[in-house]
Structure 1
């Protein structure tokens, strides 16, 4: 066909359209419903398959259990309690049918009369909805398959699904499912949760007014919210009552009386109880979702049973220890940051806080100048009080694990999950201070250094790239005397640790820290790393100390031991990962022996004196610059526990050189926890760290000669049992201090003056009088460099990372 023929054909078609025949008009009109029917038939395979619209009733959320079988959490996708239709007040169903679908019992899913009326009103400019209860249920149950866009395709899918539902289920089943799945704001799903949320009663006790109020919300939950929009909710409630009168479900005289009554809402959010370990459960939920997706399960519906490593007894003790010490420290923080003292004295910092708030940004966006916006907010007493309470709220993190298998036994992410859901165990990265020093000493011992090796306690200046000089310092001036590495760690001497870091090198220290468990956080390869300037998580630090307690073998922390289905069949079992030897056993035993001295006579001595712990334990305290972070980690052969204490904003501190130290902020949490754990015999007080018997050169030569002589002239030896590990003698702990004297400082070693032996975190300057130690002036302090346990200062602030601020996202 050439171009001329195509043009002629087209011209003929156009002429027919301009002058249609009667037969052509009939064909065109008949084609419309045919094409529509074909389109509907094409859509049917793309609509939801109706197997069980009450599937939500059968859904079983994952149940999380502790190692000893106690419930830890239940993972629900929505806050809902399914109730039978018979257990729902008849007032609710009457109000629902009268308002949303008064011909509900006469149609089969579609109300053609209502749809036609709604279409006419919509065409006239008054948009009206024509959906039946069944159509609404289809839309609510299958939002992804049907969608919510106002298109013809969506309405057709909705109608087809409604017809399927009506064909397979009774009207009562449809009503029950609808009332149990419809949302009511505030994470309340279904009529039962709505009744509890807005009226503090069950669904079967709702009266006519309460039922009308809740049914009225269905037209627009937020718009008719009785909590924030009571006037609209009242008008909508009366509209529902009028519909009940219209369809003869309510007496007109009674309506006149009822419509004058107030709402009388008794609102209370129906929050699920957080459980004993909410932060642990939060982290577990993320892991479990990944596992379930990989294995084709749904954590909200498939009834999984997850058995975790948490010990319910230890979790309770951890919660109690954090709560007790947190409350004590909060009282100190409240006094330190009182409105007319500490808060008023830090005007520049307070104004910085104000400038970071959404309220300040809103004030600026409204057209106010910075000065006017600041003045307005500073004068707002309610705003300033809320800001002060938020910024000066003490926070803490606590974690305990079994070093023998890596199982996490207790996890406390904050003082109160409802106030701060941010997890200070796994999410928060804070400078560890002197709790990082064992990595420096471990690396040195691994290279052949001895605890008896000495450095001169002298001023240290370490040149940095760019011309900077780092000058770490301690609480008191250097003594100029020799100090052993043992005492350097026991008394947390920064000058000794800095010199040791020069000898070992930051790269080797960081490599060892990584091997032992600090595997996610970035470690800056600078000399100040020795004093814990690189922010890390509490989970990493407790894991690394677990490596020390496990004879140098790293085990990845475990959260779950096995997962079962709803029938109790095991789906997967989890076992500890293969251990990775991070340090030789002999090196670890040397490090452990030195760290015993921290609690026997050093900065952690109150573990012995205050808490009376006599078990074989070792640990380390830690404090950062300006006392922004307090740390303490304690090791036992069967349990390692650590705590961090501070504020979400590291610019806020306890403003006390005594209470801000890890020995007085974090240590009491761990001490309280261990004391009660040992008393309850959850762990064995008599167990000691395994020790290798050390033999001298002469002993080794004698053993060799003896073996050679016996092989030549003696009878064949009988196999003997291996010798038991030697139990090293420990010095008796000092006596308990007098009630008014506080914790007495431990005696200094012979070559260390008392002012140096009493490290900053250690204790009191004057035990007899009970006076707290005075704050030592720093020689050259710079923000972001941790003070360590003896008041470290630095001048390489440009090199060392600043204190990490762990505010919730």
Structure 2
């Protein structure tokens, strides 16, 4: 200090001495200021040990069976990769525009800071690059600035310089580049070059072209302003600037630059958003199952989080088949919705039935929230009707933004038909397609895993199988005459045919293929309700079903997954197989964590011979029965067995299709149980549900990769089975029996179930 004073005393001009004193004082203050930051007076700075052990939050990835990435679960969308996965031109683009002296400095580039101050600030030269080094930017990525006030910018900058120096002491240059490219933000909650490459170009980082790499690097200056999806022209200009700096740094030839700069940015944008993309209902069900799996593991002392642990989940889904299934769903449901609305016309219940509209509104979250704060019913409906805001009204033809009340929105969406559709490998239970509804963004409810609906006539094969197991011959005839059962309060199941059916007697095969209700009830009466319910349980239906004769007509409410499990029995010699979605799970480093195997029942629910008989009966449903439009309308030549289903008042439409290597089930109906199809011609399973499968199979028939499904053939039935089914499908009552039978008068008797 004394030495400094002696030096200053030798400076003779007073102004110069005062100026020098001021400069020295400022330097001392700056040293003290930086020292206080260094020791943590302005907030803790991570030490080298902490910087050596930081962990990324890594998104978990969901893949199809053919290894196509279809979704992610994350808090921050990030997939870290290694330095060897970075193409050389990506590193060159980054260094050229962000930190040209990267390999020369030790964290802070002081000459560049001076250059930026002179050229960028004073001369406005944008190509001069940024003042922060890649190491400093990495420090900011790892420890984001919490306070954006101007007064803290200097403190934050100095902190980042200190952290950058420590990072340079710990990591080599390639490791710093790796950490930087794995942590940098590309906007929209997307972090790291791998996630950005997948989002904008649907490719891995290692496959990025020079132009693609330059586009992504160009975004780093302003992730929104240079977003190629939102501002393609601005992004192109920025990309070209990056390419130009590569030329200046000797990384790119002038001729290549001249060629690349005139090309347009071609995006293949994939937003791995919760609401969008392929198979959103499937991905949500996978997420739920993963949460259960990680919960069990964590209870055992493991530590996995599906949003941050970077798990890789390989599912059973077939990517191409799911695409075709979704296309078929859109194609069919759009047309069906128009037919449905047209059938009601101006008398539609969602337009005129005020009580129904209020009933549906009371189930809405908006109503429930207002109810919780104590508003009366009248005040709630007044608020729902009065308060208006801009909403997107979606239909199959268009999306329209309008100023609407919540009640308007409820009325609009309550008319929408919905669907559930699943395809699986009947031998293994692997789910190949999964459509839980028409639009995941608008309708989160999954009609495969969550919904329980009456299954209608799709339950009848279980009734007929139980009859065969009891020893009833397939050529046994049952009268189609309608009966009023005295001990069931006059319950009288009817058919959709004419009165002449009272004179007809159907074989079991014909009764099933034509789905005759009166026959199904009489088959169950002769078999026994207990026998039918017991068989249903053996086939995999765990739902408690009503012990009532109406169960023969499918009045029991069953999840689609359980119905699918039951039907797999017909393709596995009586043994059912559990549908499953996840094949195996690995860590982010590809270490195997878990595998999931098919779960087939130990014992057969029925004999192989009776299974053959049932398949032949259900083939008749396709060839000449209620599903014959498979042949007549859709001209499908494939080997198919199946069953249609329609419930009371046309509330639910079903179709089940069986082929040697594929089981497919479709349901169509409304979430509001109060509304059904206007008439059976629109609402029957053959019209509302069957076409979705038929359209899918038409598409699959044109694609050779599905030959193992589409060209598969059922084994020929044994001679004994063919002999057992060799009988007239229908017998007509004799003359005298017809003479004394009045088709307009119901026969009355007691229902006598064989138990």
Query: Equivalent residues in 2 for 1:11-22 (5 A)?
Result: none
Q: Is the 8 A contact 1:79 1:272 kept in 2?
A: no
Does residue 295 of structure 2 align to residue 318 of structure 1?
no
Q: CA deviation at 1:439?
A: 0.6
Aligned to 1:331: 338
Q: CA deviation at 1:451?
A: 1.9
Does residue 580 of structure 2 align to residue 563 of structure 1?
no
2-structure distance, mates of 1:429, 1:331:
26
Q: CA deviation at 1:330?
A: 1.9
Does residue 711 of structure 2 align to residue 690 of structure 1?
no
- Deviation track 1:21-75 (CA, whole Å, cap 9, x = no partner) reads xxxxxxxxxxxxxxxxxxxxxxx9xx9993656422xx54333222222223233
Over 3 Å counting, the alpha-carbon distance change for 1:378 and 1:80 in structure 2 is same
2-structure distance, mates of 1:193, 1:688:
44
2-structure distance, mates of 1:529, 1:101:
73
Aligned mate of 1:282, from 284, 296, 301: 284
- Deviation track 1:649-700 (CA, whole Å, cap 9, x = no partner) reads 221223232111111010000111122223324135453323452359xxxx
Aligned to 2:66: 68
Over 3 Å counting, the alpha-carbon distance change for 1:54 and 1:591 in structure 2 is same
SS across alignment from 2:481: coil
Query: Equivalent residues in 2 for 1:259-270 (5 A)?
Result: none
Q: CA deviation at 1:437?
A: 0.7
Query: Equivalent residues in 2 for 1:294-373 (5 A)?
Result: 294=297, 296-336=303-343, 341-360=348-367, 370-371=377-378
Aligned to 1:514: 537
Does residue 749 of structure 2 align to residue 751 of structure 1?
no
Does residue 688 of structure 2 align to residue 665 of structure 1?
yes
- Deviation track 1:272-309 (CA, whole Å, cap 9, x = no partner) reads 67332222222222323443452654444444433322
Aligned to 2:222: 205
Q: CA deviation at 1:443?
A: 0.4
Query: Equivalent residues in 2 for 1:43-82 (5 A)?
Result: 50=50, 52=52, 54-56=54-56, 59-79=57-77
Q: CA deviation at 1:637?
A: 0.7
Q: CA RMSD in A?
A: 5.0
Q: CA deviation at 1:514?
A: 2.0
Unaligned runs of 5+ residues in structure 2 are 1-43, 82-93, 100-128, 200-215, 228-270, 388-403, 735-743
Over 3 Å counting, the alpha-carbon distance change for 1:591 and 1:206 in structure 2 is closer
Query: Equivalent residues in 2 for 1:370-449 (5 A)?
Result: 370-371=377-378, 374=381, 377=384, 382-449=405-472
Aligned to 1:474: 495
Aligned to 1:544: 566
2-structure distance, mates of 1:104, 1:376:
49
Q: Is the 8 A contact 1:79 1:188 kept in 2?
A: yes
Name the count of aligned residue pairs: 551
Q: Is the 8 A contact 2:385 2:408 kept in 1?
A: no
Q: CA deviation at 1:639?
A: 0.7
Q: Is the 8 A contact 1:414 1:424 kept in 2?
A: yes
1-structure distance, mates of 2:454, 2:185:
48
Over 3 Å counting, the alpha-carbon distance change for 1:60 and 1:107 in structure 2 is closer
TM-score under structure 1 length normalisation: 0.58
Over 3 Å counting, the alpha-carbon distance change for 1:284 and 1:779 in structure 2 is farther
Does residue 675 of structure 2 align to residue 652 of structure 1?
yes
Over 3 Å counting, the alpha-carbon distance change for 1:297 and 1:366 in structure 2 is closer
Q: Is the 8 A contact 1:549 1:689 kept in 2?
A: no
Q: CA deviation at 1:561?
A: 3.0
Q: CA deviation at 1:484?
A: 1.9
2-structure distance, mates of 1:503, 1:383:
53
1-structure distance, mates of 2:674, 2:319:
35
1-structure distance, mates of 2:418, 2:168:
55
Query: Equivalent residues in 2 for 1:488-507 (5 A)?
Result: 488-507=511-530
Q: CA deviation at 1:317?
A: 1.6
Over 3 Å counting, the alpha-carbon distance change for 1:674 and 1:546 in structure 2 is farther
Q: Is the 8 A contact 1:620 1:633 kept in 2?
A: yes
Bigger helix share: 2
Aligned to 1:96: 148
TM-score under structure 2 length normalisation: 0.62
2-structure distance, mates of 1:575, 1:332:
43
